[in-house]
Structure 1
Amino acid sequence: MTQQSQFALLGTKRFLPFFLTQLLGAFNDNIFKQSLILAILFKLTVDADRDLLVNLCALLFILPFFLFSALGGQFGEKFDKDWLIRKIKFAEIIIMLAGAAGVLLGNLPLMLLVLFAMGTQSALFGPVKYSILPQHLRERELIGGNALVEMGTFLAILAGTIGAGVIMASSSYASIVAGAVVSVAVLGYLCSCKIPSGPAALPELKMDWNIFRQSWATMKIGLGQTPAVSRSLLGNSWFWFLGAVYLTQIPAYAKDWLYGDESVVTLILTVFSLGIGLGSMLCEKMSGEKVEIGLVPFGSIGLTLFGILLWWVSGDFPQAAQPHDWLGVLSHVQAWAIMASIMGIGLFGGFYIVPLYALIQSRSVESERARVIAANNILNALFMVVSAIVSIAFLTLAKLSIPQLFLVISLMNIAVNSYIFKIVPEFSMRFMIWLLSHSMYRVEHKNLQAIPDEGAALLVCNHVSFVDALLIGGAIRRPVRFVMYYKIYNLPVLNFIFRTAGTVPIAGRNEDLLIYDAAFKQIAQYLRDGELVCIFPEGKLTGDGEIDEFKGGVERILEQTPVPVIPMALQGLWGSFFSRDPNKGFLRRLWSRICLVAGSPIAAQQASRANLQEQVAGLRGDIR
């Protein structure tokens, strides 16, 4: 199957207008918000405490996510999503016209009101933004689409933050800000007019305008999803907790620990945002264009390690008579270690967050998807507020330094994600499969599109090594239920993976009749439920690299539940560490190239064991 880069989506009408719409929205939010903060700090004459006003800005932007995300979730279910996006983007023009008037008049109350309205608009846009993606993208495109959205969002935030700083340095900042926010809002609306149709998922939904009651109901819908989805909401919000801590502390960290000026703050924000963008972009390649939740533990490990490293390399930075600019900071070797740590946090943050968004979209109930996203937004806002409280507690009450705070949240990351992975062991299972297929082997796939995207099918494959099931399971987009010799099923460590994946242990009829009969009953049930079942008809690992005679179990399965059969073959595994080759070695053929080949489906009536053995042998060819 030919794989296209995720950037190919930017050339499609079903994605590009939406991508530009959300990117321009994020850019505009940050141009206005950062300009307002800088105006309060440096431009406006105010009687109130400036630090209090800056914190009020943050509160006014986050508060609507508590109040109106549930309403946005209802809108996203009841109305056509493309129509709703256009209405929300048109409202942005009205809001920004009021914002422009506030900036030109220097009217702080009006600008604060506009900031609250911007937060409201973003809270309404969030649920429809993420719930429309599965309607316009194929499942294999969800990772790439989410990666582009995350990259675009963070780069837009960065561009808006830096752009506001550049604009506010001008003496005519008011007219520039006013013109910019209105122009970007109009451009965003024009882009939204090109978004393809996104039909309502639940047009008969009865609106509940009680925002508090509906917020509670929305949270119950989100947390009432399957454990994989509900804990993904928790993991997603935890990411925003971490991000809020880092982003909030960056200005003080740059000033007090790197002895830098404003340009150093911009440098750190740039490195952090580029890291997230790069991590998001790499997700598609590393996941093989499928929703690979095995990347989530990988991202979590990186977040902890680089957070600890940032604490480790901070401290004793050289001072100067004047604050360092960004070039002055980079002239010190220590700064490169610090920037590498910040880049690593962003990079692994991308690995962590993109698969979680894709999982939430792909596994939530379609008629509840927008409200699940709304619940996610409410949780995100809650966790961001909690992050501020936690930071104050550690920095003020516990008297920790900023690097020590980074250390504490890195250790907290271990605890939070250990809980998530314990409740949903599928994360850990997929990580181990992903790690195997990206460390010891280079796995190539051929004709896997022959495996149906839905409905029951029986996969048959030659049996070469102890990790055949892991390699096959890591290559196929759908969950696969493997039938496996019970002694392999009970192997330490691997048993955790097999149990989590719903593997069926089987024994020979004369070896253990109870296990034998129970296995065929479970196989039949899986196939009746429309699942994929994979068996190794040889009944044992090959001892010489050749394909052994297929046993009659495959025919018994098809007699009970006639389903299409997909013959498959593994090439290149003989001689690897996990095979029974007597001449194998751990380093022999490490990082070896192997291939999984699928053949055309065969009707159950033609799938005799002799025919299947011939098909599998033909697919394998001479490559053992």
Structure 2
Amino acid sequence: MSQFALLGKRRFAPFFWTQALGAFNDNAFRNALVMLVAFQMGLDDHTVSLYTNLAPALFIIPFFLFSATAGQLAEKYEKSRIIRYVKLFEIGAMVLAAYGFYTHHTSLLLIVLFMMGMHSATFGPIKYAILPQALQQGELVGGNGLIETGTQLAMLIGMIVGSALMEIAGLGPLLAGAITIAVALVGYLSSRGIPEAPATAPDLKFNWNPISETARVLKLTGQDRPVFNAVLGISWFWFFGTVLIAQLPNYTRINLGGDGSVNILVLTLFSIGTGIGSLLCERMSGRRVEVGLVPLGAFGLTAFGVDLFFARPDAALIHGLNWLAFLHSAGGWRIVLDLTLIGVFAGFYVVPLFAFIQSRAPREQLSRVIAGNNILNALLICCAAGFGLGLGMLGLGVPEIFLATAVLNALVALYIFTLVPEFVMRFITWVLVNTLYRVRIEGTQHIPEDGPVLLVCNHVSFMDPLLLMANLRRPVRFVMYYKIFNTPLLSFVFRTAKAIPIAGHKEDPQVLHQAYDAIDAALAGGEAVCIFPEGGLTADGEIAPFRPGVEKILARRPVPVVPMALRGVWGSVWSRRDSGLGRARLPRRFRARVELVVDAAFGSEQVTAASLEARVRELRGDRA
């Protein structure tokens, strides 16, 4: 099923439109406010500067004050009801905004801006925590991609509409107030269609102290190191994006020589690029939570951020160009490509991180983890504003700021990937498997999403563990021959994936004994373990008799058993068919079409080595 089919599902569509309409109103109101203050009230430059710099701070402060409390609300109470209360609050805020626009009451409008910050801070933890309750595991990436795309496009349209309405002589303030009230009402009506999302921690003891609760939420967010580093990665994305977007108006005016239409164009390119990247994540990841896309995204942000510097490092010689004239100017299409691809790779970067947090964080803590994420996001957004201002005060132009941010992105990404080698391991696996094979998968829904399970599969090539690793939805501990485990270069992948090396009894009895202990410990800890019961690669493409080790594992730790079969791998690169025929492996069946078939789980009492062997033979069929 395509991710777009979710837009026709009641469990997703009302929430999608509710959050998109809220993002529209946030940005329409903020840009209408800026246009009113900067161009229609006759204020001096000093006062305009004061208000325009105060506005972002008033919107961000509620994220520090209320995110932790919002995380508790989302855990303790049913989420759809909270969303409806939040949307009613938005309607009230927009009514006040309409009065403020009509009377030019700046102080009231700044209060409303603070209220909209409260609205976003409260909605944030619910926004991402409700998705795992509404979607299946295989829909998380696609759902997050749609949410990110909808948010980016709604923000862009809101910015354009808010600015454009205020430029309508005489009617601007009235129209801006009317549109934002109407959108808030539609958002509330949409929220009424969101299905119930039960409380995940109804017995949570509520803490009304925002300071102590913020500290507690940040501590909770940091408990699971991979999750915390994913949070840091998302916060860094907001830093990068804030620096980029904050510089675009001056970049448009000084370096591109463009007018307001060019500014709208460059914002549109970034937003559309982010939407495209977000939507592509589902196809590129095979509907799995694939953090291997994160290093790819980080690389793209740096590569095209650096190229943006070289594309137009100096001030434009001609000014006042409209968007069409800019496109026809020298190097215009290169800048278009850079900005669009920065957005595309931003989607590759951030969507898998959100899906990773949603799939990895405990369900009863997810809202508070998202709240902690929002607090750190707000902190990095403030740092980004200071970073841009500081580099500007040091005399750096906008292209130099882009270059500095792109280089810093590479350093931060390297630091995060050093802390979480799983991201790099998944990237290597994703690249290798998608380069060498075209994989069709059937039946992975039979693998339990949590709890101990023993997976058994036929063993055809040296790439089998990577093939399975790249296509199974949950982390799996692979039991593999110790010499394969120690293969140069790939040993990093196997060690990071916590594979378990094993040897024959005559070859190394100590390694064999340690392997059985490690398998038992992994199953006792609720992990998934995969073994290849043939004890080695097939030499002729046929399935060899299964050894009794599987029975020893189950006698020691009875757990469900899931049979699997690889089809079409024999004769592909790194199977022994090439070796036996004395041919070079590498162009043999490059990009081979292979299949992974997964059967329903068996109880351990039903399993013998012979019965498993027979079932795997049936699953594989005639296609070796």
**TM-score of the pair, normalised by structure 2:** 0.96
Task: Name the aligned partner's letter for residue 552 of structure 2.
Answer: R
Give per-residue Cα distances to partners, 1:502-538, cap 9 Å, x unaligned: 2111011011111011111211222233322211122
Measured in 2, the distance between the counterparts of 1:10 and 1:20 equals 9
Where 1:567 maps in the other structure, the secondary structure is strand
Q: Distance in 2 between matches of 1:596 and 1:584?
A: 25
Of 410, 415, 420, the residue aligned with 1:419 is 415
Deviation of 1:318 after TM superposition, in Å, equals 5.9
TM-aligned CA deviation for residue 300 of structure 1: 1.0
Deviates more, 1:458-467 or 1:515-524: 458-467
Contact kept, 8 Å, 1:460 with 1:565, in 2: the verdict is yes
Is 1:371 aligned to 2:341, yes or no?
Answer: no
Alignment-derived partner of residue 463 in structure 2: 467
- Structure 1 position 16 matched with structure 2 position 41: no
SS in structure 1 at match of 2:563 = strand
Alpha-carbon shift at residue 209 of structure 1 (Å):
2.6
> 1:236 corresponds to which letter in structure 2?
I
Query: Does structure 1 residue 449 correspond to structure 2 residue 445?
Result: yes
1:351 is aligned to 2:348: yes
CA drift at 1:96: 0.8
The yes-or-no answer on 1:42 pairing with 2:39 is: yes
* Shift in alpha-carbon separation, 1:267–1:547, aligned structure 2, 3 A: same
Greater Cα shift, 151-160 or 563-572: 563-572
1:578 to 574, 579, 593: 574
Q: Which amino acid aligns with 2:43?
A: V
Residue type of the alignment partner of 1:5: S
Structure 2 partner of 1:392: 389
Match of 1:512 in 2: 508
Pick from 326, 335, 340: which aligns with 1:338? 335
Unaligned segments of structure 1, at least 5 residues: none
Alpha-carbon distance in structure 2 between the residues aligned to 1:366 and 1:455: 15
Contact kept? 1:317, 1:334, Cα under 8 Å? no
Q: In the alignment, which residue of structure 1 is the partner of 2:563? A: 567
Cα shift readout 1:105-148 (whole Å, capped 9, x = no counterpart): 11111111111111111111111222122221122211111111
Tell me what 2:117 maps to: 119
Give the 3 Å change call, closer, same or farther, for CA 622–366 of structure 1 in structure 2: closer
Pick closer, same or farther for the CA change 1:232–1:442 going to 2, 3 Å: same
Following TM superposition, by how much is the alpha carbon of 1:333 offset from its aligned partner in structure 2, in angstroms? 4.7
Structure 2 CA distance for partners of 1:238 and 1:37, relative to 1, 3 Å:
same
The structure 1 residue matched to 2:299, chosen from 298, 301, 304, is: 301
SS of match in other structure, 1:367: coil
User: Does residue 1:249 correspond to 2:229, yes or no?
Assistant: no
Answer whether contact 2:254 2:315 (CA < 8 A) is retained: no
- Tell me, in whole angstroms, the C-alpha distance in 2 between the residues paired with 1:510 and 1:474: 32
Match of 2:434 in 1: 438
User: What is the aligned partner in structure 2 of residue 148 from structure 1?
Assistant: 146
* 1:179-578 map, 5 Å: 179-224=178-223, 226-315=224-313, 319-320=317-318, 322-397=319-394, 399-578=395-574
Change beyond 3 A, Cα 1:207–1:457: closer
- Asked if 1:159 corresponds to 2:157, the answer is yes
Deviations along 1:18-74, one digit per CA (max 9) or x if unpaired, are 111111111011111001111112111224432232111111111111121112112
Matched, 1:611 2:617: no
Q: Matches of 1:275 and 1:443 in 2, distance apart?
A: 27
Residue type matched to 1:383 in 2? Answer: L
Which 10-residue stretch deviates more, 443-452 or 21-30? Answer: 443-452
**Alpha carbons of 1:622 and 1:203: their partners in 2 closer, same or farther (altered >3 Å)?**
closer
**Equivalence map 1:34-73=2 (5 Å):** 34-47=31-44, 48-73=46-71
* Whole-angstrom CA distance in 1 between matches of 2:492 and 2:551: 29
Provide runs of 4+ in structure 1 moved above 4 Å: none
Q: 39-48 or 294-303: which moved more?
A: 39-48
Mapped to 2, the partners of 1:209 and 1:13 lie a distance apart of: 34
Q: Residue 177 of structure 1: CA displacement?
A: 0.5
SS of the residue corresponding to residue 99 of structure 2 reads: helix
Query: How many Å separate the matches in 1 of 2:330 and 2:337?
Result: 11
Local SS of the residue matching 1:328: helix
Greater mean alpha carbon deviation, residues 509-518 or residues 458-467? 458-467
Distance 1:447 1:79, change over 3 A: closer
Deviations 1:183-206 (A, max 9, x none): 111111111112111222233333
C-alpha distance in structure 1 between counterparts of 2:474 and 2:221, whole Å: 23
Question: 1:623 offset after TM fit, Å?
Answer: 2.5
* 1:382-413 deviation per Cα after TM superposition (whole angstroms, max 9, x unaligned): 0011011111222212x222112111111111
| Contact 1:298 1:431 survives alignment (8 Å) | yes
The structure 1 residue matched to 2:132, chosen from 131, 134, 145, is 134
Identity of aligned residues (%): 48
Counterpart residue type for residue 623 of structure 2: I
Distance in 1, matches of 2:13 and 2:506, equals 61
Aligned-pair CA distance for 1:605 = 4.0
Within 2, Cα distance between the matches of 1:590 and 1:45?
A: 69
State the Cα distance separating 1:282 from its structure 2 match.
0.8
The whole-number CA distance in structure 2 between the counterparts of 1:412 and 1:350 is: 19
Q: Aligned-pair distance for 1:316?
A: 5.2
Q: Measured at CA, do residues 602 and 199 of structure 1 come closer, stay the same or move farther in structure 2, by a change above 3 Å?
A: closer
Look up the match of 2:623: 623
Change beyond 3 A, Cα 1:511–1:304: same
In 2, Cα distance between equivalents of 1:450 and 1:182: 48
Alpha-carbon distance in structure 2 between the residues aligned to 1:323 and 1:29: 30
For residues 189 and 364 of structure 1, the distance between their equivalents in structure 2, rounded to whole angstroms, comes to 29
Q: Is the contact between residue 255 and residue 316 of structure 2 (CA under 8 Å) also seen in structure 1?
A: no
Q: Which amino acid in 2 is paired with 1:381?
A: A
Deviation at 1:415, TM superposition (A): 1.5
- Where structure 2 has 5 or more consecutive residues not aligned to the other structure, the ranges are none
CA 1:204–1:530 in structure 2 vs 1: closer, same or farther (change >3 Å)?
closer
TM-score when normalising by structure 1? 0.96
Q: Distance in 1 between matches of 2:121 and 2:612?
A: 55
Aligned residue pair count? 618
Contact 2:254–2:316 at 8 Å: present in 1 too? no
Tell me if structure 1 keeps the 8 A contact 2:3–2:142. yes
Note if contact 2:566-2:597 (Cα within 8 Å) is conserved in structure 1: yes
Q: Residue 83 of structure 1 corresponds to which residue in structure 2?
A: 81
Task: Please tell me whether the aligned partners of residues 526 and 532 of structure 1 are also in contact (alpha carbons under 8 angstroms).
Answer: yes
